[in-house]
Chains A and B, each alone.
Chain A
Amino acid sequence: MALGLPENVFIANLDKLANWVRANSLWPMPFATACCGIELMAVGASRYDIARFGAEVMRFSPRQCDLMIVAGRIVMKMLPVLQRIWLQMPEPKWCISMGACASSGGVFDTYAVVQGIDRFIPVDLYIPGCPPRPEQLIQAVLDLQEKIRRTGTLTGREFQQRTQLQTPQLLTAPPSDLIVAPGDYRTATQRWPADDKSSSVSSSRWPLPQVN
Chain B
Amino acid sequence: MPLELVETWDEFTDQKQYLYTLNFGPQHPATHTTLRLILTLEGEKVVRAVPDIGYLHSGFEKLGEDLNYNQYVTIVDRMNYISPVANEIAWHHVVEKLLGIEITPRCKYIRTILAELARISDHCLNIGTAALDLGAFTPFLYAFYQREQIYDLIQEASGQRFHPSYTRIGGLMYDIRDDWIRMVREFVQTFPKAHSDIHRLLTRNRIFVERTKGIGILPRELAINLGCTGPVARASGVVRDLRKDEPYLAYGELRDTFQVVCATSGDCYARYLVRMEEMLESLKIIHAAIENLPAGPVNIDVETKEVLPPKPDTWRTIEGLIQHFELIMTNRGLETPHEEIYGAIESPNGELGFYIVADGTDRPYRCRTRPPSFVHFAVFPYLAVGHQISDMVAILGSLNIIAAELDR
Q: Does A112 contact B (CB under 8 A)?
A: yes
Q: Which of A53-92 contact B (CB under 8 A)?
A: 60, 72-73, 75-78, 81, 85
Question: Smallest CB–CB gap between B206 and chain A, Å?
Answer: 25
Interface set, chain B 25-83, CB cutoff 8 A to A: 26-29, 32-34, 54-59, 62-63, 66, 74-75, 78, 81-82
Q: Contact between B330 and A78 (Cβ–Cβ < 8 Å)?
A: no
Contact (Cβ within 8 A) B81 A186: no
Instruction: Flag if B27 contacts A131 (CB, 8 Å).
Output: no
Is residue A47 contacting chain B, with contact meaning CB distance below 8 A?
yes
Q: Evaluate contact between A77 and B74: CB separation under 8 angstroms.
A: no
Task: Assess whether A78 is in contact with B34, with CB atoms less than 8 Å apart.
Answer: yes
Whether A111 is near chain B, meaning CB under 8 Å from some CB there, is yes
> B81 near A110 (CB under 8 angstroms)?
no
| 8 A Cβ contacts from B65-120 to A | 66, 74-75, 78, 81-82, 84
In the complex, are the beta carbons of B33 and A34 less than 8 A apart?
Answer: yes
**Residues of A contacting B407 in the complex (Cβ-Cβ under 8 angstroms):** 75
B contact residues, range: 35 or more
User: Is B141 an interface position by the 8 A CB rule?
Assistant: yes
Of A14-22, A38-46, A120-128, A169-177, the stretch lying at the interface with chain B is: A38-46
A112 to B63 alpha-carbon distance, docked (Å): 11
- Complex contact B26–A45 (CB within 8 A): no
| Contact status of A60 and B27, CB under 8 A, knowing A75-B56, A110-B59 | yes
* Contact of A154 with B by CB under 8 A: no
Known A34-B81, A35-B162, A45-B144; judge A108-B59 contact (CB<8 A). Answer: yes
Residue numbers in A under 8 Å from B28 (CB-CB): 60
Complex: A42 Cα to B128 Cα, angstroms: 12
Q: A81-B27, A183-B66 are in contact. Are A35 and B163 (CB under 8 A)?
A: yes
Q: Which partner residue on chain B sits nearest A105 by CB separation?
A: B58
Are A34 and B55 in touch, CB under 8 angstroms? no
Contacts of B326 in A (CB 8 A): none
The count of residues in chain A whose C-beta lies closer than 8 Å to any C-beta of chain B is: 36
Q: Which chain A residues lie closer than 8 Å to B148 at the CB level?
A: 42, 45-47
Q: Kindly provide the distance from the CB of A140 to the nearest chain B CB, expressed in whole angstroms.
A: 17
Which of chain B's residues have a CB closer than 8 A to the CB of A45?
Answer: 140-141, 144-145, 148
Contacts of B29 in A (CB 8 A): 60
Contact of B58 among A37, A41, A112, A185 (CB under 8 A): A112
Residue in A42, A73, A185 whose CB lies within 8 Å of B56: A73
Does any Cβ of A come within 8 Å of B172's Cβ? no
Give complex CA distance A103, B74 in Å: 19
Residue B404 at the chain A interface, CB threshold 8 Å: yes
Interface string of B166-194 (1 = CB under 8 A from A): 00000000000000000000000000000
Q: Are B145 and A34 in contact (CB under 8 A)?
A: no
B359 touches A73 (CB 8 A): no
Whether, in the assembled complex, A133 has its beta carbon less than 8 Å from a beta carbon of chain B, the answer is yes
Q: Are B125 and A38 in contact (CB under 8 A)?
A: yes
Complex interface: chain A residues within 8 A of B32 (CB): 32, 37
Across-interface contacts of A42 in B (CB, < 8 A): 144, 147-148, 151
Count how many pairs of residues, one from A and one from B, have CB atoms less than 8 Å apart in the complex: 99
Chain A residue nearest in CB terms to B52: A77
Shortest C-beta distance, A101 to chain B (Å), equals 8
- When the two chains form the complex, which single residue of A33, A37, A130 contacts B163, counting CB atoms closer than 8 Å? A130
Find the A residue at minimum CB distance from B54.
Answer: A77
Known: A73-B56, A75-B58, A111-B59. A33 touches B144 (CB 8 A): no
On whether the beta carbons of A33 and B403 are closer than 8 Å, the reply is: yes
Contact: A47 with B145, CB < 8 Å? yes
A210–chain B nearest beta-carbon distance, Å:
17
Please provide the chain A residues from 93 to 132 with a CB less than 8 Å away from any CB of chain B in the complex: 107-113, 130-131
Residues of B within 8 A of A27 (CB): none
Q: Which residues of the other chain, B, contact A133 by a CB distance below 8 angstroms?
A: 161
Report yes or no: B75 in contact with A107, Cβ–Cβ below 8 A.
Answer: yes
Q: Within 8 Å CB of A185, what residues of B? A: 330
Q: Is B361 an interface residue (CB 8 A)?
A: yes
Contact A108 B63 (CB under 8 A): yes
CA of A45 to CA of B161, assembled, Å:
16
Contact, CB under 8 Å: A77 / B55: yes
Chain B residues near A107 (CB, 8 Å)? 63, 74-75, 78
In whole Å, how far is A206's beta carbon from the nearest beta carbon of chain B?
8
Bound together, the chains give a CA A25 to CA B256 distance in angstroms of: 55
Closest beta carbon of chain B to A3's beta carbon, Å: 51
Q: Which residues of B contact A (CB under 8 A)?
A: 26-29, 32-34, 54-59, 62-63, 66, 74-75, 78, 81-82, 84, 125, 129, 140-142, 144-145, 147-148, 151, 161-163, 330, 359, 361, 365, 403-404, 407
Chain A interface residues (CB < 8 Å from chain B): 31-35, 37-39, 41-42, 45-47, 60, 72-73, 75-78, 81, 85, 107-113, 130-131, 133, 183, 185-186, 205
A32-B33, A46-B144 given; 13 more Cβ-contact pairs under 8 Å: A31-B27, A34-B404, A35-B84, A37-B33, A47-B148, A75-B407, A77-B54, A78-B34, A107-B63, A107-B74, A110-B63, A111-B62, A112-B57
